[in-house]
Amino acid sequence: PAMTSPSTSAPEVVTRFAPSPTGFLHIGGARTALFNYLYAKGRNGKFLVRVEDTDRERSTEAAVKAIFDGLSWLGLFADEEPVFQFSRADRHREVANILLETGHAYRDFLSAEETGALRDAAKAEGRTFESPWRERTPTVDDLAKPHTVRFRRPADAPVVVEDAVQGPVRWDSASLDDLVILRSDGAPTYNLAVVVDDHDMGVTHVIRGDDHLNNAARQSLIYDALGWTRPTFAHIPLIHGPDGAKLSKRHGAQAVHEYAEMGYLPEAMRNYLTRLGWAHGDDELFSDAQAIEWFDLSGIGRAPARLDFDKLAHVNAHWIRLADDDRLAKLTLDVHLARGHALGPDDEARLMRAMPFVKDRAKTTLELADQTAFVLKSRPIPIEGKACETLAGDSGERIGRLRDRLALFESWDVFALEAELKAFAEEEGVGFGKIGPAARAALTGGSASPDIARTLSALGREESLGRLNDALQQTI
């Protein structure tokens, strides 16, 4: 008979992002999601999302939506339907019962007041609180009374978590009290729910903020009691603000959607966030494919990473340069519309024509909007006082001759325009410095714009000639 050899392949890697829907997706959460995503994708594994909505008071629909909006903006899609933790409460209670049956949990009939008093007394004596019900067997009468269910921590064995980032971390089990796993109303508590869900979802790697390190100790004990294999834990240092202090409201820019509003591209955010607390040599700019290939837990640093907006701007500028013009034109149009611009039929085409001339110089899509505002103006465009002065006298007359010359010029290609402008300057016997300011004043009203050949090219022939005519009528 054929022998089936035992499988030696490692189990499929499964990671998850487990946000609590109590607010927007913040930048730390986004990075956690990204690390989990990259780790799974680089190993042919699965990336899952679990919404930890067990806190019914604080969880909201709006927050669930904000989190999914943030994740999809970042392009971090889960490989399966998201799990909502609250919907699994029956399963959590079932596992609590297994723990009761195996003696790893007990029923605690202390009232909240009694618990508080005993806890205070224990604290005063420097002991860990312990309910007397840990050692008592309830009678049938007791069982009818309201009670919580507590996990029974193993007596006096140290708990060690082999953390992939922090190294081995030890706790005295005496320092961890017996955790409530079911409240008196039967509601499962957080640490029980997380263990049951991670186990049932087949999660192999738990990558999350190091504010959860203590939970890892408690969760490990629950895994052990159930005879379940612990996942690999990787607790990453939280993100700090540019000043080195913990990220707080004071720093602003905490929510992912704020970064979108500040004009950052999602691929730039992914690139920047991947580098925030993780390194692959000196590589700063890399693609998603490279991030997926390179990302590992050993590259995660133990020191908190600091937000650095200059670096982010640099990364963003890189991805703007590489982005398609039509995509940038749409994003830039959105910025103009948000700034109150009234949509015109030709806007997108004009922005498309301008994009190649501005995308090398913009760090954000807001800057793309600043630098393209000139193309969206509608005729006759207002000309600022200072710009108006450049059109006075001689130089205004010269703009008239330029208009006449361009009116005969058909090829509106930027290189042809450059040559034509050069020929015009030569014919006039002046340097381009005598033409540029007046031409810009007439063509843009004094707004920022690229050089004149590019400005003409971005505006298109008809619009350029129209603006030159308008300016000559206004000023001469």
Contact assessment for residue 15 and residue 236, using Cβ atoms and an 8 Å cutoff: no
Nearer to ligand GLU, 59 or 475 (CB): 59
Q: Which of 19, 231, 396, 446 binds ligand GLU (CB under 6 A)?
A: 19
| H helical segments located in 201-308 | 213-226, 256-261, 266-275, 288-294
Contact assessment for residue 39 and residue 45, using Cβ atoms and an 8 Å cutoff: yes
The span from the CA of 452 to the CA of 268, in Å, is: 31
The span from the CA of 290 to the CA of 322, in Å, is: 16
Nearer to ligand GLU, 194 or 441 (CB): 194
Contact assessment for residue 47 and residue 15, using Cβ atoms and an 8 Å cutoff: yes
Shortest Cβ distance from residue 18 to ligand GLU (Å)?
4
**What are φ and ψ of residue 181, in 5° steps?**
-105, -25
Paired sense of beta strands 232-236 and 14-17, if any: unpaired
Which amino acid is located at 57 in the chain?
E
Q: Which stretch binds ligand GLU (CB under 6 A): 15-23, 135-143, 180-188, 334-342?
A: 15-23
Q: Using the rule CB under 6 A, is 18 a contact of ligand GLU?
A: yes
Q: Which stretch binds ligand GLU (CB under 6 A): 16-24, 75-83, 412-420, 442-450?
A: 16-24
Q: Which stretch binds ligand GLU (CB under 6 A): 14-22, 280-288, 358-366, 373-381?
A: 14-22
Residues 238-257 that bind ligand GLU (CB under 6 A): none
Neighbours of 9 (CB within 10 A): 5
Q: Using the rule CB under 6 A, is 52 a contact of ligand GLU?
A: yes
Nearer to ligand GLU, 49 or 369 (CB): 49
Nearer to ligand GLU, 20 or 474 (CB): 20
Nearer to ligand GLU, 206 or 351 (CB): 206
Residues 153-212 that bind ligand GLU (CB under 6 A): 194, 208, 212
Name beta bridge partners: 180. 150
Shortest Cβ distance from residue 212 to ligand GLU (Å)?
5
Shortest Cβ distance from residue 57 to ligand GLU (Å)?
15
Q: Using the rule CB under 6 A, is 275 a contact of ligand GLU?
A: no
Shortest Cβ distance from residue 251 to ligand GLU (Å)?
19
Q: Which stretch binds ligand GLU (CB under 6 A): 17-25, 92-100, 223-231, 280-288?
A: 17-25
Shortest Cβ distance from residue 194 to ligand GLU (Å)?
5
Terminal Cα distance for the chain, rounded: 102
Name beta bridge partners: 219. none
Q: Is 26 left (phi over 0), alpha (psi -120 to 50) or beta?
A: beta
Nearer to ligand GLU, 222 or 317 (CB): 222
Shortest Cβ distance from residue 202 to ligand GLU (Å)?
15
Contact assessment for residue 209 and residue 238, using Cβ atoms and an 8 Å cutoff: yes
Shortest Cβ distance from residue 79 to ligand GLU (Å)?
17
Residue-by-residue DSSP string for 412-454: --HHHHHHHHHHHHHHHT--GGGTHHHHHHHHHTT---S-HHH
The span from the CA of 252 to the CA of 234, in Å, is: 27
Q: Using the rule CB under 6 A, is 387 a contact of ligand GLU?
A: no
Q: Using the rule CB under 6 A, is 214 a contact of ligand GLU?
A: no
Nearer to ligand GLU, 18 or 300 (CB): 18
Q: Among residues 161, 144, 287, 139, which one has the least CA distance to residue 214? A: 161
Name beta bridge partners: 197. none
Nearer to ligand GLU, 190 or 259 (CB): 190
The span from the CA of 191 to the CA of 225, in Å, is: 14
Which of 249, 311, 330, 363 is catalytic? The answer is 249
41 is catalytic: no
Q: Which stretch binds ligand GLU (CB under 6 A): 18-26, 221-229, 267-275, 321-329?
A: 18-26
Shortest Cβ distance from residue 208 to ligand GLU (Å)?
4
Question: For residue 181, what are the CA distances in angstroms to 53, 100, 148, 230?
Answer: 16, 11, 8, 18
Number of residues that bind ligand GLU (CB under 6 A): 7
Please report the sign of the dihedral spanned by the C-alpha atoms of residue 80, residue 85, residue 91, residue 92: positive
Active site residues: 249
Residue ranges in contact with ligand GLU by CB under 6 A: 18-20, 52, 194, 208, 212
